[in-house]
Amino acid sequence: MTNGQGRGSGETRPTWVQPLMEWSAVENVRARLAGPIGHVPDEIGGIALSNAGRQLLGWWLEARGTRPMPDAGDVSPRALVELLPYIRYLSWEDDEKLVIRIYGSALVEASGLDLTGHDIFGHKHDDVENDRERVRQLHRQPCGLVMLRNIYDGAGNPHPCEFMTLPVAPVAGGKARIIGTVVPMVKMREWNVDVVFDRILALQRAVFFDTGAGIPDPSLGLEV
């Protein structure tokens, strides 16, 4: 991630964004779906899904229909309007660069940085190729990925967050996309953590899940 320090303070938070940072919003946000969500799992690989992550997965399953995945034309702001503050939407600019094209308002406020236009693999570290390959696999063998990563505050304290991560197919010669939510794993009244991005967001878990085409070979060593 880009070096920098997030504001993360409710004291300077715009009035309109304050409700988005409260736990009640994360627990109650909904995708606007045509059908019920009862078939969507509430845990994957022993990870209890957040409401936001489960809602996004419900939208993804409905939007794709009988296809391996939805395409970029299916990404509907109307269906995702409540989830958008917690969403990051990315495009593969080439085989190496995965660039954030939409970075939700709650994520901007939580981090104190607008990461739109940022290549998430731009910061080199020892595990960056594994990080990249995990996300590549979502289009190579259509499936989903849930990751738990630690985000750090200025005192070095870790705050585990869930990254629900799903593939979106290109349309009309466009670029393959990734859509996902990011939310804290630990309940708190509101997100007011003083975030810093001066270290790697340590990966605690990475679990692929089957959406109809299987999951990547475990011998690749990409699950944690």
Does residue 4 form part of some domain? Answer: no
Structure-model confidence comparison of residues 79 and 3, the more confident one: 79
pLDDT category, 8, cuts 50, 70, 90?
Answer: very low
CATH number of the domain residue 22 falls in: 3.30.450.20
Does residue 52 form part of some domain? Answer: yes
* Mean pLDDT value across residues 193-214: 87
Does residue 54 form part of some domain? Answer: yes
Does residue 1 form part of some domain? Answer: no
- Cα distance from N-terminal residue to C-terminal residue, the chain: 20
H-only helix segments in the chain? 23-28, 51-64, 77-80, 105-111, 128-140
User: With pLDDT > 70 as the criterion, what percentage of the chain qualifies?
Assistant: 92
Does residue 5 form part of some domain? Answer: no
Does residue 177 form part of some domain? Answer: yes
Please report the pLDDT score of residue 16 as a whole number.
62
The tens digit of pLDDT for each residue in 178-200 reads 999 999 998 888 887 878 766 67
Does residue 2 form part of some domain? Answer: no
* Mean pLDDT value across residues 127-149: 96
Lowest mean pLDDT among 1-10, 86-95, 170-179: 1-10
* Mean pLDDT value across residues 5-22: 63
**Is 70 exceeded by the pLDDT of residue 101?**
yes
Please report the pLDDT score of residue 19 as a whole number.
84
Please report the pLDDT score of residue 111 as a whole number.
84
Supply the range of the domain harboring residue 126.
10-220
For the chain, the domain total comes to: 1
**Is 80 exceeded by the pLDDT of residue 215?**
yes
Please state the pTM of the whole predicted model. 0.91
**Is 60 exceeded by the pLDDT of residue 209?**
yes
**Is 90 exceeded by the pLDDT of residue 112?**
no
Query: Which residue, chain included where needed, has tokens 């509101």?
Result: 190
Query: Taking a C-beta distance cutoff of 8 angstroms, is the pair 12, 200 a contact?
Result: no
193: CB partners within 8 A, 6+ apart = 6, 8, 110, 151, 153, 159
